[in-house]
Amino acid sequence: DAKTTQPPSMDCAEGRAANLPCNHSTISGNEYVYWYRQIHSQGPQYIIHGLKNNETNEMASLIITEDRKSSTLILPHATLRDTAVYYCIVRILSGGGADGLTFGKGTHLIIQP
C-alpha cells in the first residue's frame, strides 16, 4: 500500500468546518483512499472512502484531487465529539497487495469550544 502523509495535529473551532489534508503522492490507479477515526479509548471507526470521485455521506465529505495525489476530509460542522485521531489510508481492494488496513500516525484533530 502507498504511504500517506498527514499533519500530526490540527485545531478547529466548534461549529466550523474541519478540513483534514492527506498527501498520497505515490498512490496507484487501483488504490482507494480510506478515512478512519479513533476517539480516545475506542477502536477505529470507518468514515468514508473513494477512488477518484468526490464522496459524501452522513459523516463527512471526501475531496480527491484530479491527479489523486492528495485528498481532504471535510467535517462540515465540527462538534466536540469529533475530537479524535483521523487516519488517511490508501488500500488496494482485492487483487494484489495487502488487504489489511495500514495505519500511519494520523492527525490528532482537536475541536475547540
Q: Per-residue string for binding with another protein, 10-39, x by CB under 8 A?
A: ------------------------x-----
Taking the least distance from each CB to another protein, the nearer of 42 and 53 is 42
Q: Which of 2, 59, 74, 101 binds another protein (CB under 8 A)?
A: 101
Q: Does position 41 bind another protein by CB under 8 A?
A: yes
Phi, psi of 64 (to 5 degrees): -110, 130
CA 45 from centre of chain: 11
Q: Does position 96 bind another protein by CB under 8 A?
A: no
Alpha carbon distances (Å) from 74 to 5, 28, 30, 78, 95: 17, 23, 23, 9, 30
Alpha carbon distances (Å) from 45 to 36, 40, 102, 105: 5, 11, 14, 15
What whole-number distance in Å separates Cα of residue 80 and Cα of residue 112? Answer: 7
Q: What is the amino acid identity at position 99?
A: D
| Cβ at position 45, least distance to another protein in Å | 7
| Cβ at position 37, least distance to another protein in Å | 11
Stretch that binds another protein, among 9-17, 45-53, 60-68, 74-82 (CB under 8 A): 45-53
Chain residues binding another protein by CB under 8 A are 34, 41-46, 49, 85, 87, 93-94, 98-106
